[in-house]
Chain A
Amino acid sequence: MNRSSSQLDQPLRELLKDRRIKALLTALDRLAEADQLAMVTTKVLARLSRVSEGVMFRLLPNKQSVFLLWMESRCKRLNLIVNGMPQGRQGLLNGLRNIASDSALLSLLFAPPMVDETLRLHLLRFRDDIWAQLFARIEILPNRPLGIPSRVLMDSVWQNLARMPRAIGSDYESQESEMSQLPWEENAMENPALPNSESVKRLALNDNGFVFDPVSGHSFSVNDSGLILLKLLQEGLNAKTLVQRVVDEYEADAHEVERDLMDFSRLLKGQLK
């Protein structure tokens, strides 16, 4: 039996449509990774996806629809991870590792949102929802450190995720190693990921917090707390001694100092690459 050419072409057209939509969503991933969501134009999207603006608007009615489709598909993936996490420490860690190793999901959670009010609110509502789900997991976690509110623990988990590098080609192995334990766990302080001692010692810094690396030529600034930690790191102190020094000298809370040190070390390592 002969079929018409339009019938024969139908599966091919569907395949082509799927590919083009996938290309558009991948292009949005790349833009999100580069923190460019707020500035996306259809022209840029067309260039990156290699789907012309005309074709784009035959597939989807407007730019907002492209963004919504992107958010829905990535939100679905993220929800699957978060909802599918088994209860307990290992389940939480596995879930966090899965999120950390997917730059598109990290961008969905942490990239600066779009200018469009509807899209922005949609995205922020989704982020709040994920935050609440992770928070609920932490609240029922066994062996939580005594005396530290769940909100503080959640805050450190969220910050860890937010600081994961999101660029294409990021070192996922190192990201996974960053997520090998929960930020407040004791082992984390026994062998925290402090930057290489020689790299820290070579840094030139002044009292205003301006830091210059004479090898890479990078310069950056640190706040007062960062400056205190950096000066102590330059003395070559190990993490425990360093935390104790800060606790003694500034009457600070040890848990907060530990968390700050881990966060600061991660940022500093990024600068010293």
Chain B
Amino acid sequence: MNQLRVAITGMNARPDNPGPGLAVAHSLRDAEDFDGRLIGLGYDALDPGFYLPQYCDVSYLLPYPSAGEEALLARLQQIHAADPFDLLIPCLDAELPSMIRLQPVLEQMGIKLFIPSGEQLQLRNKDRLHEVAKLAGIECPEIQSVTQAGFFYRCQEEGWRYPLVVKGLFYDAKIAHSADEAAEAFHSIAAQWGLPVLVQRFVKGEEVNLTGLGDGKGNLLGSVMMRKKGLTDKGKAWAGIAIHDQTLLSAAEKLVKNLDWRGPLEVEVMRDDEGRYHLIEINPRFPAWVYFSAGLGRNLPYALVQLAMGEELAEFPPSKPGMLYIRYADECVVPLAEYESVVMNGCRI
């Protein structure tokens, strides 16, 4: 594939909680048959993806989501006019609703997206996980919407037990061991992500994640499974080991089939002491550890590019359980002129 131009969002990469954009760019750069131009998109002038030319040829700032869809569309049109691109890969959860709504306009501009529909996106919402888990044939810890912190002081009367998990509707999750801790988490999450806040029963076990690609016709392609071996303070994986569990794979296949999922996804499950899986979350994007897929010979970001551009996919090689993934922090040194260019002009060229 030659001279394809791909824009990728999520260029933030703080070591304790990186966005997936840089990993997607890294995977594409590693794909032997890909020789395209990569355009990094981010929201903060300190996003490291802006300053790593080995991954992104050029980078642009986007307006924060709070500025609204019109501002986002205007900025994308401006970037596209100056530096056209053929495909846009959104990598952050919060971007998906806007991208789905803007998809017809973007496609008219000649920008392809390979993302789920609005209905599919809603079905994987945290407050509807039970329905999805049922489709996949796995369990799902009870989840409930909460709008007042007082809930945590009386929830035991309703059968809830501590510890429990307090979650934002779109992002963030905290384990609370007491009503006070839960109320504190509630206020902190509500302040950042708004109401309602969700409360989920705590499942003791190990976190196992699967990422793959739904082709929009009911098939799950190139799945990669990983058990988290090390977590950052924010609960993100900094080390993981590739596994292959047919039970989890079958559940994910059912899920994709029943939803006709289109685009990347990450299925987060807990494996309890008895080996049973409990669905915790479905993310409608690649995870930040997606570079692991490239390392395992199943380059999912490249497969997405091929699917989006209507190309035939080669058969994925067998999975390689036992391969280890370790994330590490690195630094880059940036000339003042480049930083200045991002701050003043919103782009690094």
Contact = CB atoms under 8 A, between A and B. Distances in A.
Whether chain B is bound by chain A comes out as yes
Interface of A: 50, 169, 171, 204, 212, 214-219, 273
A217 B245 CA distance: 9
B147 interface: no
B204, B240, B321 pick with most chain A CB within 10 angstroms: B321
A159 B274 CA distance: 24
Given A169-B204, A204-B322, A216 B273 contact: no
Interface in B194-224: 204, 206, 208
A50 B86 CA distance: 58
Interface in B203-255: 204, 206, 208, 226-227, 229, 240-245
Interface in B272-291: 273-275
Nearest to A213: B243
Given A212-B321, A216-B227, A216-B271, 4 more contacts: A214-B321, A215-B321, A218-B227, A219-B241
B122 interface: no
Give chain A's interface secondary structure class: loop
Nearest to A272: B275
A30 B111 CA distance: 57
A214 B244 contact: yes
Contacts of B275: 216, 273
Contact of B243 (A50, A169, A217, A273): A217
B227 to A, nearest CB: 3
Contact of A214 (B204, B226, B240, B322): B322
A171 B275 CA distance: 14
B341 interface: no
Interface size class of B (residues with CB under 8 A): 10 to 19
A214 B242 CA distance: 8
Contacts of A50: 178
A218 B274 CA distance: 14
Contacts of B245: 215-216
A48 B2 CA distance: 60
5 interchain residue pairs of minimum CB distance: A217-B227, A214-B321, A217-B243, A217-B241, A215-B245
A50 B178 CA distance: 9
A169, A212, A215, A216 pick with most chain B CB within 10 angstroms: A215
A273 B244 contact: no
Nearest to A47: B177
Contacts of B240: 217
A217 B229 contact: yes
14 contacts: A171-B273, A204-B322, A212-B321, A214-B244, A215-B321, A216-B243, A216-B275, A217-B226, A217-B240, A217-B241, A217-B242, A217-B321, A219-B241, A273-B275
Contacts of A214: 243-244, 321-322
A215 B226 CA distance: 10
A273 B271 CA distance: 10
A215 B322 CA distance: 10
Given A214-B321, A214-B322, A216-B243, A273 B229 contact: no
Contacts of B208: 217
A192 B226 CA distance: 33
Nearest to A217: B227
Nearest to B204: A169
Nearest to A171: B273
Nearest to B274: A273
Nearest to A165: B273
Given A50-B178, A204-B322, A215 B273 contact: no
B279 to A, nearest CB: 18
A250 B229 CA distance: 38
Contacts of B226: 217
A212 B322 contact: yes
A266 to B, nearest CB: 15
A96 to B, nearest CB: 23
A50 B321 CA distance: 44
A50, A204, A217 pick with most chain B CB within 10 angstroms: A217
Contacts of A171: 273
A2 B273 CA distance: 59
A219 B322 CA distance: 9
Contacts of A169: 204
A95 B132 CA distance: 47
Nearest to A273: B273
Nearest to A48: B177
A211 B296 CA distance: 20
Nearest to B271: A216
Nearest to A50: B178
Nearest to B320: A214
A219 B244 CA distance: 14
B29 to A, nearest CB: 28
B236 to A, nearest CB: 17
A171 B227 CA distance: 24
Contacts of B206: 216-217
A66 B349 CA distance: 65
